[in-house]
Structure 1
Amino acid sequence: MLSVGGLVGRFWSRLGCVLCVAVGCAGLGWGTPPGYSGAPADGGRDCTACHRGQVNSDRRGGLVIHAGSFQPGVRQKVLLTLSHPQARRWGFQLTARLARDQAKQAGTFTGSPEVAVICGPEGRKAPCQGALEFANHTALSSYRGKPGPVSWQVEWTPPAAEAGEVIFYAAGLAANNDGSAQGDWTYTAQLRVAPAADFGKQQPGAETRKVDPTWLRRRLPELSARPAEFTTASCQYKPIFGAGDPDARICRSVSRFGELVVQAGGASAPVSFAREEHAWVVLEGGGLLHYDGREQPVRAGDFFYLAPGVRHWLENDGKSACRVIVMGFRVPAGADMKPPEKLPLANIEEVPKQVVGSHPPSTLYQLLMGDRRSTRDRIAAGITLTSLFIMEFDPGGTNFPHHHEREEEIYLVLDGHGEMVAGGGMDGIEGRHPARAGDAYFFRLNCTVGFYAGNQAGEPKSRILAVRSLFPFAVR
C-alpha cells in the first residue's frame, strides 16, 4: 500500500504497494486504489490482497488510530501510528463510516502533501461529493528507508448534521522496502468515536455553573487506556491527570501524568515535546530506553529525566510487560532548556530513606529528583519539576497536612492504605478521604494535602510516589 503521490503507474511495481494490475492499481498514479482499508462494508479488503502474509499476524508491530470525540462540522485531526521493527517503507488507507450505516461516508477528508484523498468506487481524486472517501499516504509520506514507528495526521471534517457515532477503518503496510510483495507486514485497526457529550446542549445559567475543583481524585485500576502520542499496538497509555483526562484544564504546570505499559517485544512510539520536560519511573519490568540517538537499559525501580525537545521511546526487549509512570511538565518561555550531557538516571534502591524538615519521623522520604539547583536530591535536573520523591509511612504515620503556595502536587498510592487529606474548611479541619493502592490525587496550589497511614503493625508499609511542580505564575 505504499503510495507514489503523483508519480506514474510504472512506479507502483517498484513500491510493492497493493499494485496488482488485476485491481487496476497501475492506472492510479496518485495513490492506493479505494476499498482497501479493511472496512467490512467494502468486503474487508486490505493490503494482503497483493502482499503475501496474514493480517495482524506479527505482534511486534501494529497500527493504531487516534481520534477524540467530535463536534459536527468542526475539523479535527486523526492520527495513525504504524510500527514494525524491520520495516523500512510505510503506507496506509483510512476511511470514515456512519456507525448506523457503514456503507455511507461520514464527513470528509482534506488532502495535503502527505495525504492523498480519492473517491470510491472508481478511484477519482477528491472532492468526492458524498461518495465514499479514502485517505492514503503519498510518495512523500511513505518514509522510504526510515525505521518506525511512523505517523500520519489526516484532517477530517465530521458530518455537518449530527449523525451519531462514526467508525474509522484503516489498513497499514509496513514494508521491507525490497520492491517486492513478499516479506511485508499488514495491519488493520478500527476506532469508534462519538459526538462531544456537550454538543447541542444549552449552557447552564450562572446559578448552576460548576466551580473548578481544588483537587482531583482518580483510581488507576478503573481507568481506561486512551490514544496518546506514545501509543502503538503494543503500548497503551492510561491518562490519570493532564492530557487525555476530562479535567486536564485544571492542571496548570502538569501537562500529563499517566501509566505507560509496553508489552513484551513491543515499543512505544518515538516522541519529543518542544516545551515539556518528563520524569519517568519504572514500576515493573524493564527494557531499552532510546534517548537522543543512544540506548540505555532500564529496569524496575529506575527513574530518569527526559529533557524538552529530545526524541525518545521505550522498547521492551524482555519477557513481561514494562509498566512506567510518565510525568510531563510545561516549561515556561525563556527557560534554559539545554539538555544534560548524560541521561540523568538512578534507581530507587540507591536513594537513602530520611526524615525531611519538620515532618515527623514516622514518615521516611526518598528524594529522587529536584530542580537544577537542588543539593539534596539524587538527580538535580528539573525546570518546572521541583521535587519527585517517595514517602514510606510507619503504622499510623503521617506527613502532617500542609499546603504549598507556589506548587501543584500529585500523590499516587503505591502500597498500603489510609486516609488522604485533600482540602479543608475555615475551621482548620482537613477533609479526609479513604485511600488505597492505585488511588491518585492532584492538588492545586494552596490546597491542604497530607496522608494518614492506615496500615497496622505487621502489615506492609504504605508508600506514596509524589511529585511537585512550579505553578506558572511563580518566579524563582
Structure 2
Amino acid sequence: MQPLIRNIKDFPAGEVARLISADDDPFLTLAYSVIQPGGTSSHHIHEWEHEVYIIEGSGTLVADGKEYPVKAGDAMFIPPMVDHVTRNDGDSPIHRIEINPISAASGNARPGGSEPGAGTPPVIRNHADLNDETGHTMLGGRDGCPNYLMLYNGYMQPGAVSHPETGGHNHTWDHTVFILEGTGTIVVSGTEYTVTAGDAVRVPPGEHHQWKNETDAPMLRVTFNDIVSEGHG
C-alpha cells in the first residue's frame, strides 16, 4: 500500500486542515489549525482524549478551570472528560497539530461549562525536557495516554538514513508523522516519496519503510504510534 501524504497547503487558509480523517480508514485522525491572537480553540468536553503539539506561538490551556501556560515545542495530553479550551493570549498565531482516536469522529462533544469535568490534570512536556530516561517519547503510557505515543524524532541531519543496517523496517502498527521542518524522503516498499514541512504522512501497517535526508538542511518530525509500540523503539 502507498503512504498517505497531505500538506497543510492543500486546504483553504484559515480553516482547520483535516490532514488525516476518518475517511482515510486510519487508526487516528490528525488536524492542523491556527489560533489567532485573542482567539480560542473550541471550548468543549468529551469522552476521548486529545494529544496536541504546539508548533509555533504561546498561550494558555484552561482545563477544568485551571490555567496552564503552553508554548512552541510543548506536547499536551488532555485526558477524557476534561473541560478544556486553548486561549491565545500572546501576540502571534498559535500553530498546532492535534490527534484524536477514531471514536471522536462520531462527535458527541458538548459545550464547555455544560457539565463537570473529571478534574484529571493535563500533561504538558516540552521537547527540550526530553532526556535519557524519556528518550524520544513526548507522551506515552506513563502519562496515562490510552491509545497513542507522541515521539519527537529530533533533527535528521543531511545524509542521514534510518535503519541503514536493514534498509528500513516494518511493524504491525502504522506511523502517523508530521514534518515540522525541512524536506526528506520516505521509502515505502521500494518506492521513494518526497516529504516536506507541513506534510502529514501515514505509513500503513506492515509496509517496509525507511527515512532519508538527501538535502542540505535538517529535517524535523513528530511521530504518533499505536500505544502497543511502546518499548519497541
2:44 partner SS: coil
In structure 2, distance between residues paired with 1:311 and 1:340: 9
Structure 1 residues 421 and 261: CA distance shift in structure 2, 3 A? same
* CA displacement at 1:353 relative to structure 2: 7.6
CA 1:309/1:447 → structure 2, altered by over 3 Å: closer, same or farther?
A: farther
Is 1:260 the equivalent of 2:33? yes
Distance 1:307 1:391, change over 3 A: same
What CA distance in whole angstroms lies between the structure 2 residues aligned with 1:387 and 1:339?
23
* 1:215 maps to amino acid: P
Which residue is equivalent to 1:468?
A: 225
Return the letter of the residue paired with 1:433.
Answer: Y
Q: How many residues are treated as equivalent by the alignment?
A: 212
- Which whole-Å deviations, capped at 9, do the CAs of 1:30-54 have from their partners, x for residues lacking one? xxxxxxxxxxxxxxxxxxxxxxxxx
> How far apart are residue 215 of structure 1 and its match?
2.6
Residue number in structure 1 paired with 2:94:
322
- Shift >3 Å, 4+ stretches: 338-341
Q: 1: CA distance between counterparts of 2:4 and 2:179?
A: 14
C-alpha contact 2:182 2:196 (8 A) present in aligned 1: yes
Distance 2:12 2:211 in 1: 26
Letter in 2 for 1:371: G
Give secondary structure in 2 for the equivalent of 1:257.
strand
- Aligned pairs for 1:33-182 (under 5 A) are none
SS of the residue corresponding to residue 45 of structure 2 reads coil
Match of 1:367 among 137, 149, 153: 137
Letter in 2 for 1:465: V
Aligned to 2:144: 381
Taking the aligned partners of 2:139 and 2:182, their CA distance within structure 1 comes to 23
Identity of aligned residues (%): 22
Q: Superposition pairs for residues 396-435 of structure 1, below 5 Å?
A: 396-400=159-163, 401-405=168-172, 407-422=173-188, 424=189, 430-435=190-195
Tell me which of 170, 193, 197 is aligned to 1:437: 197
Structure 2: which 5+ runs fail to align?
104-116, 229-233
Other-structure match for 2:215: 455
The 8 Å contact of residues 415 and 436 in structure 1, kept in 2 or not, is answered as yes
Counterpart of 2:25, as a letter, is I
Greater RCO (CA < 8 Å, at least 6 residues apart)? 2
Return the offset for 1:440. Answer: 1.8
In structure 2, relative to structure 1, the CA distance for the partners of 1:341 and 1:277 (3 Å cut) is: closer
Is 1:222 the counterpart of 2:10? The answer is yes
For structure 1, the residue ranges without an aligned partner over 5 or more in a row are 1-212, 226-234, 332-337, 357-364, 373-379, 425-429, 472-476
| Residues 1:313 and 1:404: Cα distance change in structure 2 (over 3 Å) | same
Note closer, same or farther for the CA distance 1:390–1:273 as it changes in structure 2 (3 Å cut). farther
8 Å Cα contact 2:41-2:85 kept in structure 1 = yes
1:341 CA drift (Å): 4.1
Tell me how far apart the structure 1 counterparts of residues 182 and 132 of structure 2 sit (CA, whole Å): 18
Counterpart in the other structure of 2:50: 278
Give 1:410 deviation, angstroms: 0.8
- The CA deviation string for residues 256-295 of structure 1, in whole angstroms up to 9 with x for no partner, is 2111211111112212231x22111111111111112211
Structure 1, residues 318-373: CA drift from partner, whole Å, max 9, x if none? 11111111111247xxxxxx97843211111111389x9xxxxxxxx63211223x
CA–CA distance in structure 1, aligned partners of residues 213 and 139 of structure 2: 24
SS for the counterpart of 1:392 is coil
TM-score, normalization: structure 2? 0.80
Letter in 1 for 2:16: Y
Contact 1:366 1:390 in 2 (8 A): yes
Give the Cα separation in 2 of the matches to 1:445 and 1:433.
17
Identify the residue that residue 158 of structure 2 maps to in structure 1. Answer: 395
Matched residue type, 1:442: R
CA contact (8 A) 2:141 2:227 kept: no
**Structure 1 contact 259–324 (Cα < 8 Å) conserved:** yes
